[in-house]
Amino acid sequence: MIQLIRGFKDILPGEVELWQKIEREARELLERFGFREIRIPVLEKTELFRRSIGEDTDIVEKEMYTFADRGGETVTMRPEATASIVRAYIQHKLYAPDPARRLYMVGPMFRRERPQKGRYRQFYQIDAEILGVASPLADAELVFLLTSLFRRLSVADVEAHVNSLGCAACRPSFRHALQEMLASVSDRLCEDCSRRRSRNPLRVLDCKVPECRAALAAAPSILDHLCTDCRRDFDLLQNALAALGVPYVVDPRLVRGLDYYTRATFEIQTGALGAQSAVAGGGRYDRLIAELGGPDLPATGFAIGFDRLAEIAGLNPEELRPQPDLFLAALGARARQAAFAWYCRLGERGIRVAMEFGEKSLKSQLKAADREGAAWVLMVGEEELARGTASLRDMRSKRQREVPLAGLVDRVAAMLTE
Ligand code: ATP
Ligand code: MG
């Protein structure tokens, strides 16, 4: 028997209702704040991700699904959404006449990581971006939306971590201080960090290897190096969050794994996930649009790990299970034919319908109706056909009433929707 590929998964009925609920809530919330959906391709030119995510990242170094397509072009299955959204923003000139755009997308991402709990090779993200807006209020809005969504989904034990990564003016001085510190602990760093230490020292702060984390205990804080503008923006972000009552902690170790981030950076962490504690991450990437050949415009965004969110949402999947309003139980071929027409018409009228197509006893059909949680059962057999009525049974009260066959669809639809 052929099984699915390691690190990939099916989302089956029973679980999928939770995914649908999360997606519905996210779309509703984002659209209320003016975010519009964008759908981007799964496959892009590899160059797009190399340039936007950066060569020294885990993603580009070892996680991308990259292959030559039959025409010889090197293509990559998207490992994240921001690069593609920015490409589309530039390519379709979505910045004109007004650069401010709120965009979101929901869909699968692909990274060839070591599969483990909370880490898949195809996973899903809910991604939101505010392009063309420099104000730290945009960052505050994103953190607010994340915490608001998680609250609506009854996620417990979440904490927003915020930091500033500085800008081209002030980051170099931090980078220098960090590099000096890293030189002094170089023998304790993992292989990746030893390599990145000189080329991209900020990445070392992001390393998950416990020995590296320990070695970094004495690392300098970027917050001691912020320039006046970055300091002001970081204060504005914090003041906005405080005024909204959004709980947050300042976490000077928080850096994003991607090259294009500047200033505000944030992550939503939860104790409910064990080692994979980040359920969403994001921040400002003021340099990416220009770096990808577009105008010099700022932007900020987040990505939620959908799989992880589904794991920690405090919703009862049993309560989300769709249940039929009406189960049609027919006995005999003629009755089944009549019932089938009602089934189609009532479904079309907005009633959730279910029906047994085979020849089964009334008892076993009632049992099936009960199992599926049907609120009503419409019963019809030869006898009812001859009498010109069908029986409608309320499964809760067990009370039954007769419904004339003439105009049955209208009558039942009216009774069930009132
Ligand atoms: P991590 O630190 O867990 O590796 P990341 O920094 O690589 O995360 P981002 O690129 O910021 O993650 O993606 C945003 C979110 O997507 C993460 O916070 C996480 O919830 C989710 N995510 C990332 N990689 C995976 C994966 N392989 N499987 C499931 N979810 C993932
Ligand atoms: Mg990762």
Average pLDDT over residues 12-35: 97
pLDDT digits (tens, 9 = 90+) for 130-144: 999 999 999 999 999
For residue 259, pLDDT beyond 70: no
pLDDT digits (tens, 9 = 90+) for 191-223: 888 888 888 888 888 888 899 889 888 899 999
pLDDT of residue 44: 98
For residue 183, pLDDT beyond 80: yes
pLDDT interval class at 76 (50, 70, 90): very high
Residues linked to residue 128 through DSSP beta bridges, in sequence order: 104, 302
Q: How far apart are CA 320 and CA 373, in angstroms?
A: 12
HSE (side-chain half, CA atoms, 13 Å) at 244? 19
pLDDT interval class at 247 (50, 70, 90): very high
pLDDT of residue 373: 96
63, 116, 125, best to mutate for ligand 1 pocket (most atoms within 8 Å of CB): 125
Single-letter amino acid code for the residue at 11: I
CB neighbours of residue 325 within 10 Å: 17
For residue 260, pLDDT beyond 80: no
CA distances 286 to 205, 218, 229, Å, are 21, 29, 14
The structure's pTM equals: 0.93
Give the atom of ligand 1 at the shortest distance from the alpha carbon of 309.
20
| H helix runs in 72-135, sequence order | 82-91
pLDDT digits (tens, 9 = 90+) for 370-392: 999 999 999 999 999 999 999 99
- Please report, rounded to a whole number, the percentage of residues in the chain having pLDDT higher than 70: 99
- Distance from the CA of 406 to the center of ligand 1, in angstroms? 59
Average pLDDT over residues 343-363: 97
- CATH of span 16-170+226-317: 3.30.930.10
Give the atom of ligand 1 at the shortest distance from the alpha carbon of 282.
11
For residue 272, pLDDT beyond 80: no
HSE (side-chain half, CA atoms, 13 Å) at 25? 21
pLDDT of residue 31: 98
Identify the residue with better confidence: 401 or 198.
401
Give the atom of ligand 1 at the shortest distance from the alpha carbon of 58.
7
- CATH of span 323-413: 3.40.50.800
Residue range(s) of every CATH 3.40.50.800 domain in the chain: 323-413
Q: How far apart are CA 171 and CA 194, in angstroms?
A: 20
Average pLDDT over residues 20-33: 98
Average pLDDT, the chain: 94
Q: How far apart are CA 302 and CA 262, in angstroms?
A: 13
Helices vs. strands in the chain: H and E counts, helices first: 17, 16
For residue 97, pLDDT beyond 90: yes
| Atom 2 in ligand 1: residue holding the nearest Cα | 278
Give the 3-state secondary structure percentages of the chain, helix then strand then coil, rounded to 5: 45, 20, 35
pLDDT of residue 257: 62
Give the atom of ligand 1 at the shortest distance from the alpha carbon of 308.
20
Ligand 1 pocket check for 133: Cβ under 6 Å: no
For residue 238, pLDDT beyond 90: yes
- Distance from the CA of 37 to the center of ligand 1, in angstroms? 21
pLDDT of residue 169: 92
| Atom 19 in ligand 1: residue holding the nearest Cα | 305
Average pLDDT over residues 354-380: 97
Ligand 1 pocket check for 9: Cβ under 6 Å: no
pLDDT digits (tens, 9 = 90+) for 331-351: 999 999 999 999 999 999 999
Ligand 1 pocket check for 278: Cβ under 6 Å: yes
Give the atom of ligand 1 at the shortest distance from the alpha carbon of 256.
6
| Atom 12 in ligand 1: residue holding the nearest Cα | 281
Range with top average pLDDT, 18-32, 164-178, 215-229: 18-32
Strand 400-404 relative to strand 158-164, pairing: unpaired
Measuring CA to CA, which residue among 256, 292, 286 is closest to residue 130? 286
pLDDT interval class at 258 (50, 70, 90): low
Residue range(s) of every CATH 3.30.930.10 domain in the chain: 16-170+226-317
| H helix runs in 54-133, sequence order | 58, 82-91
pLDDT digits (tens, 9 = 90+) for 274-315: 766 899 999 999 999 999 999 999 999 999 999 999 999 988
| Atom 26 in ligand 1: residue holding the nearest Cα | 119
